[in-house]
Amino acid sequence: METAPRVAYRLDVRVTRTLRSLFLSASLGALIPVAGSVCATEFCSCIGGGGRFLVMNGATIPLDSRGIPWSGFISYNDNHEPVLPAATGFTIERVTPSGRTGVGVELELLTGPLVGDERFSRPLLLVKPRGGFSTHAQYVFTDHGGHSGRFLRGAPRQVVVNVSDRRLSDGSDTASAELVATEQTRGELRVMATGGSCSIAIDAVQTGLELRLGGDLNQWRDVLLFSTSVDGELWRPRSSVCSQVAPGESWTGRGTDRVFADCTPDHPYGGPDFKLEQGRREVTVTAWWPGVASISGTTEVVLSCSGDLR
């Protein structure tokens, strides 16, 4: 496995992600459409927010991990550059049989094609213990909240992770990945749409995806991040404006995804923000762990509202 490249994300018109109306974030979390936008009578209100760690509480992580991924709203300056939350908003404690010890905290903004352009959305940070992880130790990561900039102030959140004596790179010789696509179906699908309210139900032709990991890599499935690209461009739709799908996550669950094309002839308030055109598409799902390793599986799918799969 090779470390994922860190290059700038490029938008391609072949995957349409059109925000037909812009939204401002109010202090209470209500999403208010900008004046002049065309909106339905039902506005979208998202109460909640704040950041969260992208590993389950009690998870076991590889020894060569560089940190724990965290996603949440952050601020941007007048030059549209991200303003990271203060490292003091997080604490890390190392737990050993002899007791708890505080560890220095470092933050790193993750970028590149596996993350995408998350400006004004939910960027991905790596919360890192200074000096790295120690084997056979337990670490308590706490997000103390209140560092969401001009957006919502998140409540404190905590996650405990156990550090294995095995490295993710140990199983590189036996690692494998196979991307499996389900049979194409056609039916109603609810997706995010900012042209009207929070979401819209469309008539869609759709195909499910699952990345199957082989070898020693499969033991880390519950902690790895997964990113999907279609024809080389990032694909991360949501079912609603209020859905929280962070970089490295999917709207259908860990290691799975769904691609679709809209078969609805007309939308009174505009169609979904994410959609693919009908036709033959190359889909890749990548399993990765920040700064350590990545492995991908690729397959070809054909999306056709008429059912013609040639």
Contact 71, 59 (CB under 8 A): no
Is the model more confident about 120 or about 275? 275
pLDDT band at 51 (very low <50, low <70, confident <90, very high): confident
How many C-beta neighbours within 10 Å does residue 120 have? 16
Kindly state the average pLDDT of the residues 18-47.
37
pLDDT band at 37 (very low <50, low <70, confident <90, very high): very low
pLDDT band at 69 (very low <50, low <70, confident <90, very high): very high
Kindly state the average pLDDT of the residues 20-46.
36
pLDDT of amino acid 246? 87
Comparing CA positions, the residue from 130, 298, 307 lying closest to residue 229 is 298
Flag whether pLDDT at 83 surpasses 90. no
Kindly state the average pLDDT of the residues 234-247.
86
pLDDT of amino acid 119? 52
pLDDT of amino acid 173? 75
- Among residues of the chain, what percentage have pLDDT more than 70? 77
Flag whether pLDDT at 74 surpasses 80. no
Q: Model's pTM, two decimal places?
A: 0.80
78: Cβ contacts below 8 Å, ≥ 6 apart: none
- Among residues of the chain, what percentage have pLDDT more than 90? 49
Is the model more confident about 239 or about 95? 95
Mean pLDDT of the chain: 79
* Cα–Cα dist 70/125, whole Å: 5
- 219 vs 59, 84, 170, 212, 223, CA distance in Å? 11, 32, 12, 12, 9
Is the model more confident about 23 or about 165? 165
Three-state secondary structure call for residue 295? strand
pLDDT of amino acid 22? 30
pLDDT of amino acid 228? 97
Interval 110-169: pLDDT, tens: 988 899 865 545 789 999 999 999 988 999 999 987 654 444 445 678 999 999 999 998
pLDDT of amino acid 12? 29
Lowest mean pLDDT among 18-27, 73-82, 201-210: 18-27
- CA angle, 216 then 170 then 128, to 5°: 105
Domains and CATH numbers, the chain: 23-167 (2.60.40.3710), 171-303 (2.60.40)
| DSSP single-letter state for residue 41 | S
CA dihedral 121, 144, 147, 228 (to 10 degrees): -20
Kindly state the average pLDDT of the residues 278-306.
95
pLDDT of amino acid 78? 84
pLDDT band at 16 (very low <50, low <70, confident <90, very high): very low
Kindly state the average pLDDT of the residues 39-57.
66
Interval 189-205: pLDDT, tens: 998 877 766 888 889 99
Flag whether pLDDT at 15 surpasses 80. no
Three-state secondary structure call for residue 218? helix
Three-state secondary structure call for residue 114? coil
Contact 144, 40 (CB under 8 A): no
